[in-house]
Amino acid sequence: MAGNSFGQLFQVTTFGESHGTALGVVVDGCPPGMALSVREIQRELDRRRPGQSRVTTPRQEPDQVEILSGVFEGKTLGTPIALLIKNRDAAPGAYDRLRDRFRPGHADLTYFLKYGHRDHRGGGRASGRETAGRVAAGAIARKLLSRFGVRIVAGTVQIGKVRAARFDSRAIEKNLVRCPDAKVAPRMIALVERARKQGDSVGGVVEVRVEGAPAGLGEPVFGKLDADLAAALMSIGGVKGVEIGDGFAAASRLGSENADPISYRRGKFFTRHNRGGGILGGISTGEGIICRIAIKPTSSIALSQKTVTEAGKPVTIQVQGRHDPCLCPRIAPVAEAMVALVLADHLLRLRGQVGTIRRSK
Amino acid sequence: MAGNSFGQLFQVTTFGESHGTALGVVVDGCPPGMALSVREIQRELDRRRPGQSRVTTPRQEPDQVEILSGVFEGKTLGTPIALLIKNRDAAPGAYDRLRDRFRPGHADLTYFLKYGHRDHRGGGRASGRETAGRVAAGAIARKLLSRFGVRIVAGTVQIGKVRAARFDSRAIEKNLVRCPDAKVAPRMIALVERARKQGDSVGGVVEVRVEGAPAGLGEPVFGKLDADLAAALMSIGGVKGVEIGDGFAAASRLGSENADPISYRRGKFFTRHNRGGGILGGISTGEGIICRIAIKPTSSIALSQKTVTEAGKPVTIQVQGRHDPCLCPRIAPVAEAMVALVLADHLLRLRGQVGTIRRSK
Amino acid sequence: MAGNSFGQLFQVTTFGESHGTALGVVVDGCPPGMALSVREIQRELDRRRPGQSRVTTPRQEPDQVEILSGVFEGKTLGTPIALLIKNRDAAPGAYDRLRDRFRPGHADLTYFLKYGHRDHRGGGRASGRETAGRVAAGAIARKLLSRFGVRIVAGTVQIGKVRAARFDSRAIEKNLVRCPDAKVAPRMIALVERARKQGDSVGGVVEVRVEGAPAGLGEPVFGKLDADLAAALMSIGGVKGVEIGDGFAAASRLGSENADPISYRRGKFFTRHNRGGGILGGISTGEGIICRIAIKPTSSIALSQKTVTEAGKPVTIQVQGRHDPCLCPRIAPVAEAMVALVLADHLLRLRGQVGTIRRSK
Amino acid sequence: MAGNSFGQLFQVTTFGESHGTALGVVVDGCPPGMALSVREIQRELDRRRPGQSRVTTPRQEPDQVEILSGVFEGKTLGTPIALLIKNRDAAPGAYDRLRDRFRPGHADLTYFLKYGHRDHRGGGRASGRETAGRVAAGAIARKLLSRFGVRIVAGTVQIGKVRAARFDSRAIEKNLVRCPDAKVAPRMIALVERARKQGDSVGGVVEVRVEGAPAGLGEPVFGKLDADLAAALMSIGGVKGVEIGDGFAAASRLGSENADPISYRRGKFFTRHNRGGGILGGISTGEGIICRIAIKPTSSIALSQKTVTEAGKPVTIQVQGRHDPCLCPRIAPVAEAMVALVLADHLLRLRGQVGTIRRSK
């Protein structure tokens, strides 16, 4: 499978450059007969959209999505669903001065090294703008998952050194940084604003939680659910780390401290602490799934940085494009989308592979 | 692709249960004409082998590998290379008492929930023993990579709360815990021994470093090199987190602190701090690749733990099998193998896709 | 990989229903730096376009293609190339009477059985119109192949019982049925016209020939070049058989009659008769590749046919849409496109997998 | 996916050279809890086994299969099932004289051109012996399919110019050439014996019939059931053509002659003539599936043939190995196996993708 596709039974293929004609995605494998409207997809896109607040980039993109195929009379056909998002506020001229030089921390250098010919405008294919297609596809995956009672929510649990102390899903959409801790949110916002004013940026951590996922998602030994989640989340630009359940914290513990007894109530199995984040041996337990991603501070900052041109000549640049001072609030819906894509795919695979013998007599 | 296969042009498929007849792997896509001997594969297996020292499981498995196909007169044919490792010291009887109950922290519960019918002996397919096949395949990938000047080494940089202060590759094979810091190694060993004596276990962190990887490995946007590395490493049993380059540390920084200027010397581009771990925008820069994995303490401990039976009845178990008090030293070669598989696959893809236009006139 | 994608390193994903908003395709894996213009793609689409002559459907579709991504300043970027073709002359009303009934020989019945909910208008996703996306993608594959000296041409070698006696590539575009035998073409045209006037249709055979393909394309044992060609060609609507080289004729021969001695001249190997159609053991020999496809007569005929409704009620229908009396002339460019997609993919895989050892020292 | 793997949810990977240590296959994706014994697999292998009669090769191979993994206490685990078949009667010495020369009609030339280094003994990986792994895997697929009421049978319907006039499944295993027409079988046998005595060989056609396959197998537009069947069957060595349903016969018909009205009885839909061979628009109708393959005469004949050495020097060879005078009787079980692999895979995919919405409320 080529690099711009993801998933096996629920497969998405995205396309588009940041300042090109359009972005889009083809979703192949969504089961037929599911009600689906432009509005449902637009709602998710609006959560990722730039220009939402003073803590995000001022680029104005309506990110209006069109459904080109795969839906007939309001319901999915089982055929590929193509979604198109035209670029409106492309400002390619802003990048003219960057044409032959590499912004540090960006993919400019590596696209040059790999492809030779590159679209230098706003990162081209490597721009965060590419995630619009992921979010649009994720909206379809989420709709599918909701039919099975699966809900996904992501919140910013850390910005810089400020950490959330609790995870209250209802708080997330009520503050600008999507923090699940209403008390801590104002401090996070202040931190982001300070960075923005100084032409600086700041990193953070986003946590994704899934409720209602059935047991049995994931396969041995390479097709593990946590392996697929790690790939899906690490594929988001700016993400430098992924952990599942207790993650890196478990590395410094003794086995006796990390123990997690199993119990049983009303037809379901439970672990006491859910240290595995809803996954044991790469397969879901039926408990809540929990993962976290480390997000680096936006590399595009207004402060001057040393770099070189394609010819290797040293230069100093100051990135003048419009950028997010902190990626977390806008990455949260992208992370939800990626988790949704993984779960939708594994859900269909689970239904296909396992239990068929038992279902047949 | 099914759950037990990995890679596209360099594809591996592993099989085998911990206490079944045999483990093995099929490697499809290794280029033809490469010298390959049993000895080279055995050398890597010996590094992963159980029973090596007082800090690893006492299970005695010679892990003798046989080449069944794909090699003729000492050289690869370009056809699938099948490798077989027979189980010798299987002690299935030791697991009789665990037949209907779930060891906490293991895949016993999830295999039961997913498959219904399961091989309860030592975790069956979910056993760490499965990684022998990965290491055998990895030995072939490493041989291939060495032809292109790529070298991979992994070391234990943390056990419990003890951390290495430096990464000296030459130190790694000289101490029992594979620590790249000769001074810190004795404290790590003492910590593992204490845990073992108390019937306890301890977690840690392994770092993998790659030298000599060419620029250009990785594809946009889902086929990123770091996404594939994350999946490969997270698929190892016991791994709960993956980070690339500065990883989670970057999350608490300002953009100005995280800046990483680019320079150019003698035909190559460099970043000052290599904060990206040799990867920018999902594509290798040609610098050293660095990743780290968080490993939980072995879940099998001699201390008694609460759990339930398949029927949901509460019981107390004490796992009596033979286990590693700390997984790090034996996971290090597995992590090297997984990184080798990812790089070999991307290397072949790179040669196929890119530059073909330039190579043709 | 989902059902609407094809290829591994050179991957295409098509979408769109016959009377929906648009058709399109995403091509992922085309190497960077290749000059590519809308005009080159349009030229191939124009060859497949309906309404070309009195022997094809009168539906008027300009099939104007737009490039949405993957091309910058006239050259490919190595990122996905998305192509869009809007439907203009959709006449969905013409299908209102067919809403709940199945046209014999079409996919109406099976889409109903599989998906429940279906787009009944002109076959929806199963319409021959879907092949516009294939031809657009094929144009890119052909451009890539042309850089390596590979040329593909398809001609109608049989309509009804009228057969071409020779294969002259230059004759093909000079007659309405794309027959490579200028002498036989008029008889074929007369046959198609007679069928059209009687509201009938007629089947035929199209032969595809490839010149300049290198030796070594194809892999053992499932990834054989002829296996991939068979799948690619059989996936075209209306195709009921595929043969390679001498095909079914070989089945009635003795081994001594079918013998095909090998010789060598000026650095190349040759078979005397090329009975294998340029392929031995699933791998290309470097000779001309030859395959043929059997195409059934268009199932949509103006004559009344017995069928049933979704509820199983017997009815008589007369298909009034606009249809081709013979599919061959318009399938020829589609067959070329499919062969191009297979060859482009295998060419990239060949460059990736084989010879890497020899190229390294 | 690499060239030696096949299938998506039900994936097989085969390995092994004709005169190497062993042949084998890994089956990944077989649902858990299915009773499976060595005996069931051996039974199918025995049908393909060489040395069965005077119309097949005298090479004596017991083809004893071992199950290495994936089965526990007589039932499948849902984990990979590895099967091993050791080579016993390897006679590599017989091939010494062929070491540097190409047998016409074989893959010797193309493996040399592609891989450089090759196993010349009996065709190595390209030998018909490779199909033992396919048949072993097919036995598992057939067992799975039988749980859903799907039965597959293949018969030799043509040898040379002698054709069967009827298809009586019960006749097939009662004659040496597996002809479904008991009256015609003796003439076919006589033809094969005559060829064998003259050191010659003869081609033929094998037809595969499937009963009990559900409607809905297959996907638009590249994942069509007939496309996958065509690839699967064309991948068998010696096969030069594939047709579905009426196949090439339809090419010479008018639409009115080829019409196939649909009717409905007792909850099922039927076509009058099943001209589509149980497939419409690439998706199964629920009727019997019918396909046919053209098989060339064995290229290894005792008559002397002209060829060249690797250095291009003209030589005359007489192939002295042990070969089948007609491939049909032994290809029949291989064709059944390949069809079983395709159907098992599509069956699991169907259960995964479609109807999930309807099954959820």
Reading phi first (left if > 0) and then psi (alpha if -120 to 50, else beta), residue C35 is in beta
Residue C180 has what DSSP assignment?
S
**How crowded is the C-beta side of A193, counted as CA atoms within 13 Å?**
10
Q: Does the beta-carbon distance from B33 to D116 stay under 8 Å?
A: yes
Residue linked to tokens 């030994």: A221
- D17 lies within 8 A of chain C by CB: no
Rounded to whole angstroms, the Cα distance separating D287 from D237 reads: 29
Closest partner residue to B354 (CB to CB) among C32, C147, C356 is C32
H or E stretch at B192: helix B185-197
Question: CB–CB of B326/B297 below 8 Å?
Answer: yes
Average pLDDT value over all residues in chain B: 93
Question: CB–CB of A85/A24 below 8 Å?
Answer: yes
What is the structure's pLDDT at B55? 74
Rounded to whole angstroms, the Cα distance separating C91 from C88 reads: 9
Question: CB–CB of A85/A132 below 8 Å?
Answer: yes
DSSP notation for C99-126 = TTBPPTTSSHHHHHHHHSS---GGGGGG
Closest partner residue to B28 (CB to CB) among D5, D84, D124 is D5
What is the structure's pLDDT at D62? 85
Q: Does the beta-carbon distance from B29 to D2 stay under 8 Å?
A: yes
pLDDT tops 80 at residue B266: yes
Question: CB–CB of B65/D11 below 8 Å?
Answer: no
Q: Copy the structure tokens of residue A31.
A: 């089961």
Nearest CA in chain A to D144: A357
pLDDT tens per residue across span B115-127? 999 999 989 999 9
List the one residue out of B63, B233, C150 whose CA is nearest residue A226: B233
What is the structure's pLDDT at D326? 96
Rounded to whole angstroms, the Cα distance separating C305 from C319 reads: 9
Give the domain extent around B48.
5-359
H or E stretch at C66: strand C65-67
Q: What is the mean pLDDT of residues C89-93?
A: 67
Rounded to whole angstroms, the Cα distance separating B353 from B216 reads: 11
Rounded to whole angstroms, the Cα distance separating C344 from C148 reads: 10
pLDDT tops 80 at residue A91: no
Q: What is the mean pLDDT of residues C270-274?
A: 97
Rounded to whole angstroms, the Cα distance separating B300 from A281 reads: 13
Residue linked to tokens 């990684």: B131
Average pLDDT value over all residues in chain A: 93
Beta bridge partners of A156: A206
Closest partner residue to A354 (CB to CB) among D32, D353, D360 is D32
Q: Copy the structure tokens of residue D164.
A: 């069967």
Chain D hits for A34, CB-CB cut-off 8 Å, are 357
pLDDT tens per residue across span B86-115? 998 766 677 788 899 999 999 999 999 999
Question: CB–CB of D164/D181 below 8 Å?
Answer: yes
What is the structure's pLDDT at B322? 65
What is the structure's pLDDT at D50? 73
Rounded to whole angstroms, the Cα distance separating B151 from B145 reads: 7
Please give the share of chain A, as a percent, with pLDDT higher than 70.
95
Surface of C (36-55) touching A: CB under 8 A = none
Q: Copy the structure tokens of residue D193.
A: 């014996």
Give chains near C: 3+ CB pairs under 8 A.
A, B, D
Question: CA geometry: angle at D297 spanning D296 and D303, to 5°?
Answer: 145
Q: How confident is the model at residue D1 (pLDDT cuts 50, 70, 90)?
A: confident
Overall number of domains in chain C: 1
List the one residue out of C63, C66, C26, C67 whose CA is nearest residue C48: C63
Q: How confident is the model at residue D92 (pLDDT cuts 50, 70, 90)?
A: low
Q: Does the beta-carbon distance from A360 to D33 stay under 8 Å?
A: no
Rounded to whole angstroms, the Cα distance separating B189 from A89 reads: 59
B265: exposed, middle or buried (C-beta count within 10 Å: 0-12, 13-18, 19+)? exposed
- D96 lies within 8 A of chain B by CB: no
Residue linked to tokens 């100084």: A198
pLDDT tens per residue across span A275-285? 999 999 999 99
pLDDT tops 70 at residue D356: no
**Which value does ipTM take for this structure?**
0.96
Q: Mind telling me how many Å the CA of B348 is from chain A's nearest CA?
A: 13
Q: Does the beta-carbon distance from D356 to A354 stay under 8 Å?
A: no
Rounded to whole angstroms, the Cα distance separating D118 from D98 reads: 12
pLDDT tops 80 at residue D91: no
Rounded to whole angstroms, the Cα distance separating A48 from A178 reads: 11
CATH number assigned to the domain comprising residue C270: 3.60.150.10
Nearest CA in chain D to A361: D147
Rounded to whole angstroms, the Cα distance separating D208 from A188 reads: 68
Mapped onto helix, strand or coil, the DSSP state of residue B357 is helix
Backbone angles phi, psi at D353, to 5 degrees: -85, -45
pLDDT tops 80 at residue B350: yes
pLDDT tens per residue across span A110-134? 999 999 999 999 899 999 999 999 9
- D353 lies within 8 A of chain A by CB: yes
Closest partner residue to D3 (CB to CB) among B1, B20, B28 is B28
Which of D357, D358, D359, D360 to mutate against chain A (most A CBs within 10 Å)?
A: D357
pLDDT tens per residue across span D185-221? 999 999 999 999 999 999 999 999 999 999 999 999 9
Mapped onto helix, strand or coil, the DSSP state of residue D224 is coil
Extended strands (E) in chain A: 5-6, 11-15, 22-28, 65-67, 71-72, 75-76, 81-86, 151-159, 162-163, 204-211, 239-244, 262-265, 268-271, 279-280, 283-284, 289-295, 305-308, 314-317
Closest partner residue to A15 (CB to CB) among C20, C78, C80 is C80
Q: What is the mean pLDDT of residues A332-345?
A: 98
pLDDT tops 50 at residue A261: yes
What is the structure's pLDDT at B359? 41
Q: Mind telling me how many Å the CA of A292 is from chain C's nearest CA?
A: 28
Q: Does the beta-carbon distance from C78 to A29 stay under 8 Å?
A: no
- For residues C96 and C210, the model is more confident at C210
Q: Does the beta-carbon distance from A17 to C115 stay under 8 Å?
A: no
Closest partner residue to C28 (CB to CB) among A9, A13, A33 is A13
What is the structure's pLDDT at C361? 33
Q: Mind telling me how many Å the CA of D157 is from chain A's nearest CA?
A: 34
Give chains near B: 3+ CB pairs under 8 A.
A, C, D
pLDDT tens per residue across span B4-45? 999 999 999 999 999 999 999 999 999 999 999 999 999 999
pLDDT tops 60 at residue D361: no
Beta bridge partners of C154: C208
Q: Count other Cβ atoms within 10 Å, centred on residue C85.
A: 24
pLDDT tops 60 at residue D360: no
Question: CB–CB of A52/A171 below 8 Å?
Answer: no
Rounded to whole angstroms, the Cα distance separating C348 from C346 reads: 5
DSSP notation for B40-75 = HHHHHHHHH-SSSSTTS--------EEE-SSEETTE
The region of weakest confidence among A185-199, B164-178, C42-56, D164-178 is C42-56
Q: Mind telling me how many Å the CA of A336 is from chain C's nearest CA?
A: 23
pLDDT tops 60 at residue A355: no
List the one residue out of A224, A153, A156 whose CA is nearest residue A187: A156
Question: CB–CB of D157/D205 below 8 Å?
Answer: yes
Q: Copy the structure tokens of residue D245.
A: 């349903």
pLDDT tops 80 at residue C322: no
**How crowded is the C-beta side of C301, counted as CA atoms within 13 Å?**
29
